[in-house]
Amino acid sequence: MKDIFEVLRGNPGDADHNKKGVIVQGITGAYGSLHTRNMISYGTNVVAGVTPGKGGQKFDDAIPIYNTMSEAVEATGARISAVFVPAKFFLGAAKEALEAGIELLVAIPEHIPIRDTMSALDMAQKKDARIIGPNTPGIMMPGIIKIGIMPPTPFKPGKIAVLSKSGTLLYEISDALSSAGFGQAITIGIGGDPVNGTRLIDAFEMIRDVPDIDGMVVVGEIGGDSEEMLAQLIMDTGFAKPTVAYIAGRAAPKEKRMGHAGAIVMGTYGSAESKISMFNKANIPVAKRPAEVPVLLAKKMENGDGGGSPGTTGGGD
């Protein structure tokens, strides 16, 4: 699969370096249009929109609208799509996008049936494409490109990678990081659904060998075992860069869905304790509060201490 940074910013010398085209599916909906404008004002190069039946019109008198993804891709050459269609239309929109040659599909909607996510993922795999989400705030490289719904203010360009299941916690923690002088090279919204197009381990593989990244912050929450898998992968393969985690939902009752479809503890599967103990085993400290994340990261940076080597237990104050 193509390097994520190449997809998001291209290579120096390319005509579209740092201004890669993005197509918005569902551009004329209330949600899609609001966030298209926000993306554009951030500097994202939105080159086309797709709304069936509105082909030939222009969004805000500037961005051409097409009836289908294949027309939009053919006309613009863009390989990134941001999907803002209602959940029940997601699978159709995703298939159309992947069929048209989209390499990175950012799935914003919440409430997509799991089966539809799995079908879209199956197709993405066959097409060698990536899906971020669903139920994600999106992906961004601060200062360069924002594909999604994040407010711009918490983020500053820098050298930290932030991977997060939650949207608002991504903002809150990035804000705290930015204030502490830790800007972000990339932030990836994993999403709050049970099945994620890009899992924590996939997002980690995207950034692990990037020289411009100095550290990583993982924002997890109860449900599933993707945090445990990441901790295991880091223990197995090592990762020399300072890493800090935060896990939401320590006090959540069992067997109740806490807002996100994926945020549910079933028996011991998905519990906060399980995630925290695995991170500690991987020498990754887990903050007790969002505000503690930059403090722990600074400590790790000072010690030049990476994750992966079992031994000292981390943990909050």
Q: Which is nearer to other proteins, 5 or 33 (CB)?
A: 33
Residue span binding other proteins (CB under 8 A) among the ranges 12-20, 75-83, 93-101, 287-295? 287-295
Closest CA to 235 of 307, 136, 184, 299: 307
**Separation of alpha carbons 101 and 97, rounded Å:** 7
**Closest CB 151 distance from other proteins, rounded Å:** 3
Report the residue from 199, 208, 281, 299 that binds other proteins according to the rule CB under 8 A: 199
Span of 18-26, 41-49, 283-291, 296-304 interacting with other proteins by CB under 8 A: 283-291
Name the percent of the chain in helix, strand, coil, to the closest 5.
35, 20, 45
Shortest distance in whole angstroms from residue 67 CB to other proteins = 25
Distance, CA of 56 to CA of 37 (rounded, Å): 19
Scan residues 29-58 and list those touching other proteins (CB under 8 A). 38
With CB under 8 A as the contact rule, the residue among 4, 141, 195, 206 that binds other proteins is: 195
- Left (φ > 0), alpha (ψ -120 to 50) or beta: where does 284 sit? beta
Q: Which of 17, 35, 111, 260 is catalytic?
A: 260
Size of the site for other proteins (CB under 8 A): 63
Closest CB to other proteins among residues 100, 206: 206
118 residue type, one letter: M
Question: Cβ neighbours of residue 130 under 8 Å, at least 6 residues apart?
Answer: 1, 4, 7, 103, 104, 105, 124, 197, 198
Q: Which residues contact 108 (CB under 8 A, 6 or more apart)?
A: 31, 35, 82, 83, 84, 133, 134, 135, 136, 137, 138, 148, 149
Residues numbered 149-188 forming contacts with other proteins, rule: CB under 8 A: 149-151, 153-154, 164-172
Q: How far is the CB of 311 from other proteins (least distance, A)?
A: 26
Binding string, residues 82-121; x marks residues near other proteins by CB under 8 A? -----xx----------------------xxxxxx-xx-x
Residue number, 85 or 100, with CB nearest to other proteins: 85
- Count of beta carbons in the 10 Å neighbourhood of residue 126: 9
CA distance 163 to 284: 14
Nearest distance in Å: CB 246, other proteins: 8
Query: Which residue pairs, CB below 8 angstroms and at least 24 apart, start in 289-294?
Result: 289/316, 290/169, 290/172, 290/173, 290/176, 290/246, 291/176, 292/246, 292/316, 292/317, 293/173, 293/176, 293/177, 293/217, 293/244, 293/246, 294/176, 294/177, 294/179, 294/180, 294/182
Closer residue to other proteins (CB): 20 or 146: 146
Q: How far is the CB of 156 from other proteins (least distance, A)?
A: 14
Q: Is 35 a catalytic residue?
A: no
What part of residues 215-274 is at the interface with other proteins (CB under 8 A)?
219, 221-226, 229, 246, 248-263, 266-268
d(CA 269, CA 279): 16
Task: Decide if residue 26 touches other proteins (CB under 8 A).
Answer: no
Interaction site with other proteins (CB under 8 A): 38, 87-88, 111-116, 118-119, 121-122, 149-151, 153-154, 164-172, 192, 194-195, 199, 219, 221-226, 229, 246, 248-263, 266-268, 288-291
Active-site residues, by number, are 260
